[in-house]
């Protein structure tokens, strides 16, 4: 196998490890789970997905049946290609960093030294981890940032490069555990999306109406909330009936508007002198909602770009 993995291969591995973690959370509720079990069961799923061929060294056995067998010092990865084994380990370590799982406490074995308080060979799934697992809509941006971006890229038309630059950096800092920076970058991406929305509405209105409206209500307004209000008023006034007929109006009010406001308000609150604390659940929710926000905004943009009858 090649010494490096493609983006799609990494996405497959991330999905398999997360699916295995989800399965174990239901199969072994409130119980310690061996890292080795998660590692080997994830590998078995990758064999089933044909990411690699079951190696001869395990003699045709399923990886799950090797959990209770001792490791072979010559083949510590059980024949799993090293690049895949390393990626699985990175993903598991990332779960520790994101507080989805935490080290278990192990009682002493033939020793008088007391408990081992940080025992990394076993873990328990945290409340945050359970929440993420149960809210399946949140899973995409958690375990597969490349897949998250790919889902946006696959929406027609091609996404704005500037917005994607901020969104990509947003996911990088999120996976580094920097929640404040995540919200700030997400707000910038959101503002860019609204500006694209306004430019499309301007073009749809035609000349000179569109240019006059845009100059008077958008281009010289510093606050994005003011620009959004002007955009909403003009959109409803000019296209409210058509948006209703095309079943786009509800998405604007319930997804576009609410998500825009949620991201903007959160960004403003963390910038306030009094500040506020953020949780990973809250920020993960904003990232998830941004995808739907983008999808519904683009649907309206595509409508506005249709030839006028």
Q: Are residues 196 and 207 in the same domain?
A: yes
> Dihedral, CA atoms, 220, 225, 229, 235, nearest 10 degrees?
80
Convert the pLDDT of each residue in 51-84 to its tens digit: 999 888 777 788 888 888 776 665 578 889 999 9
As a whole number of angstroms, the distance between CA 87 and CA 12 comes to 11
pLDDT of residue 135: 67
Whether the Cβ atoms of residue 228 and residue 260 lie closer than 8 Å to each other: yes
Whether the Cβ atoms of residue 228 and residue 194 lie closer than 8 Å to each other: yes
- State the residue range of the domain holding 195: 137-304
Q: Are residues 21 and 130 in the same domain?
A: yes
If pLDDT is split at 50, 70 and 90, which confidence band does 163 have? very high
How many structural domains does the chain have? Answer: 2
**Residue, of 141 and 269, whose pLDDT is higher:** 269
Among the residue ranges 42-51, 111-120, 283-292, the one predicted with the least confidence is: 111-120
Mean pLDDT, rounded, for 3-13:
85
pLDDT of residue 74: 56
- Of 23-27, 125-129, 276-280, the range with the highest mean pLDDT is 23-27
Among the residue ranges 11-15, 244-248, 277-281, the one predicted with the least confidence is: 277-281
Looking at the domain assignment, is residue 2 inside a domain? Answer: no
Query: For residue 203, what are the CA distances in angstroms to 112, 195, 213, 308?
Result: 77, 12, 11, 12
Helix, strand and coil content of the chain, in percent to the nearest 5, comes to 65, 5, 30
pLDDT of residue 111: 54
Indicate the SS3 state at residue 75: strand
pLDDT of residue 73: 62
Indicate the SS3 state at residue 278: coil
Indicate the SS3 state at residue 121: strand
Q: Are residues 91 and 207 in the same domain?
A: no
pLDDT of residue 276: 80
End-of-domain residue from the set 67, 99, 134: 134
- Which own/partner contact pairs does 61-64 have at CB distance under 8 Å and 24+ positions apart? 64/40
Looking at the domain assignment, is residue 213 inside a domain? Answer: yes
End-of-domain residue from the set 134, 156, 180: 134
Asked if the model's pLDDT at residue 118 lies above 80, the reply is no
Q: Are residues 259 and 117 in the same domain?
A: no
End-of-domain residue from the set 83, 102, 134: 134
Q: Is the peptide bond before 157 cis (omega within 30 degrees of 0)?
A: yes
pLDDT of residue 280: 79
As a whole number of angstroms, the distance between CA 13 and CA 80 comes to 13
Pairing of strands 33-34, 101-106: unpaired
As a whole number of angstroms, the distance between CA 260 and CA 303 comes to 20
The reported pTM is 0.69
Q: Are residues 25 and 157 in the same domain?
A: no
As a whole number of angstroms, the distance between CA 124 and CA 191 comes to 39
pLDDT of residue 66: 86
Mean pLDDT, rounded, for 151-161:
90
Looking at the domain assignment, is residue 309 inside a domain? Answer: no
Q: Are residues 254 and 295 in the same domain?
A: yes
Encode 196-255 in three state secondary structure. Answer: HHHHHHHHHHCCCHHHHHHHHHCCCCCCHHHHHHHHHHHHHHHHHHHHHHCCCHHHHHHH
How does DSSP classify residue 42? Answer: H
As a whole number of angstroms, the distance between CA 274 and CA 245 comes to 45
If pLDDT is split at 50, 70 and 90, which confidence band does 188 have? very high
């Amino acid at each position: 196998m090649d010494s490096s993995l493609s983006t799609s291969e990494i996405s497959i591995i991330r999905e398999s490890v997360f699916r295995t973690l989800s399965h174990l959370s239901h199969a072994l509720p409130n119980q310690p789970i061996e890292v080795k079990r998660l590692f080997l069961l994830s590998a078995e799923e990758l064999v089933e997905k044909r990411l690699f061929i079951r190696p001869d060294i395990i003699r045709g056995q399923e990886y799950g049946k090797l959990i209770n067998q001792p490791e072979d010092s010559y083949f510590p990865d059980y024949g799993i290609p090293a690049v895949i084994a390393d990626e699985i380990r990175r993903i598991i370590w990332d779960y520790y960093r994101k507080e989805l799982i935490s080290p278990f406490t192990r009682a002493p074995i033939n020793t008088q030294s007391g408990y081992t308080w940080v025992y990394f060979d076993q873990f328990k799934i945290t409340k945050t981890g359970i929440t993420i697992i149960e809210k399946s809509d949140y899973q995409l941006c958690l375990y597969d940032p490349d897949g998250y971006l790919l889902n946006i890229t696959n929406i027609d038309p091609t996404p704005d490069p500037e917005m994607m630059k901020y969104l990509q950096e947003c996911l990088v800092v999120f996976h580094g555990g920097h929640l404040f920076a995540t919200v700030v970058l997400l707000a910038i991406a959101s503002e860019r999306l609204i500006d694209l929305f306004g430019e499309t509405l301007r073009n749809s209105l035609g000349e000179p109406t569109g240019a006059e409206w845009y100059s008077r209500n958008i281009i010289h307004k510093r606050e994005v909330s003011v620009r959004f209000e002007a955009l909403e008023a003009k959109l409803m006034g000019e296209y409210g009936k058509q948006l209703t007929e095309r079943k786009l109006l509800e998405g604007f009010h319930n997804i576009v508007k609410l998500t825009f406001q949620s991201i903007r308000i959160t960004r403003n609150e963390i910038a306030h002198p009094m500040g506020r604390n953020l949780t990973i659940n809250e920020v993960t929710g904003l990232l998830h909602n941004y995808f739907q926000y983008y999808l519904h905004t683009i649907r309206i943009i595509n409508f506005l770009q249709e030839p006028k009858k």
